[in-house]
Amino acid sequence: MKKLLIISLITLGIFACKDVINEIPDNPYQTTPYAFDYDRTLLPPPRIPSDNPLTEEGVLLGRMLFYDPILSADSTQSCNSCHNQSNAFTDNGLQFSTGIEGITGKRNSMPIYNLMWHLDGFFWDGRADILRHQAILPIIDATEMNETIDHVLYKLNRSNSYKEQVKKAFGEEELNEEIIGKALEQFMFSIVSADSKFDRVMLGIETFTPEEKIGQVIFNSEAIPIQEEADPNNPQNFGADCFHCHGNSLFMRREFLSNGLSGNGDLGLAEFTGVRRDEFKFKTPSLRNVEKTAPYMHDGRFETLEEVVQFYLSDMNASSAVDFSNAPNMHALKDSVYLSPTHKKALIAFMKTLTDEKLLTNEKYKSPF
């Protein structure tokens, strides 16, 4: 009797184990955490949303979507069309991007690296609160891809490769709008620029040239307006005051700011908020890779860095369209500031040390097709 009881308990144990094993699906949803490979001493800690952690599988799905023209109504335009890696993910030197219907937009294409530190609004006017929402809007914008989400999903879910990848990345049988946004968000968050000459100097691997070092000092020094009583034949050099809006290792500020530019009919942040004091405020882009992102400003009005520097040195009070109560960040720069030609050249030389050649060629960011 005792022996029979032992056999029965063993048998029950076997079947109990079998029941537990059978609860595990044939293809379990397992992902691999995405590993960043930049030096963590150069940039702030990653800022990744807790509800969309980066995984190798999710980043790959987002990369597939980023480079696939199937997102546009006529399958001719992808995200990459206006965000070319070799141009630091901007639009091939164009002032304005053109959609599939040949409609030209009114703003310059923004770069999309180091976006994990831009969690305070996207687009020049901040109309998207988080990156996954920003990723969807160009698809349905009539001036860009001019598609519908329903039709995009119909096309994508006919593809076995997409259905296989979405199962690996999110454990779902098909894509939906949320997954498209999250996958694109993951890929764009994975794009990090932190391997410029500036970074290598900070790590002690390289050194600035004398000209670049002077440019760094000018970049990080306060600007002092030219005084009327100053001798015009013996002007003095002062700082360029760049660091207030483009300081720290990211070379940006997360706020939306006015830089004194006339609007050209574009109210910027105010077009989204409807608030009067938000007029002419735009997202402050990073100066990393600025050598590769011409033309400059929200409307691409300046073709060269020399033009940009000269604008900031000019008398901005001459523009009646600018309300400087909206631009407290400009302080001294709203008046004329002097830099000698030699020091302007040095300032630009320093900004060119922010170019990350690895970003422009990194295989991880190229088309997976």
Q: What is the pLDDT of residues 77-112, one digit of tens each?
A: 999 999 999 999 999 999 999 999 999 999 999 999
Domain 56-193 has CATH 3.30.1050.10: no
The pTM assigned to this predicted structure is 0.87
Please give the backbone phi and psi of residue 98, each rounded to the nearest 5 degrees, phi first. -120, 135
Q: What is the pLDDT of residue 316?
A: 66
pLDDT at 120 (0 to 100) = 75
The three-class DSSP label of residue 205 is: coil
**Which residue ranges make up each domain of the chain?**
56-193, 197-353
Transcribe 68-116 into DSSP letters: -GGGSTTS---HHHHSBGGGTSB-TT-SS-B-TTS-B-SSPPPP-SSGG
For the chain, residues with pLDDT lower than 50 are 1-27, 320, 332
Q: Give the C-alpha distances (Å, rounded to integers) separating 199 from 35, 194, 248.
A: 20, 6, 12
Kindly report, residue by residue over 210-264, the tens digit of the pLDDT: 999 999 999 998 877 665 555 555 556 678 889 988 989 999 988 888 887 776 7
Q: What is the pLDDT of residue 260?
A: 79
Pick the CATH number of 197-353 from 3.40.50.300, 3.40.50.620, 1.10.760.10, 1.20.120.80: 1.10.760.10
* Torsion angle of the four alpha carbons 92, 97, 101, 106, in this order, in degrees rounded to the nearest 10: -160
| pLDDT at residue number 318 | 56
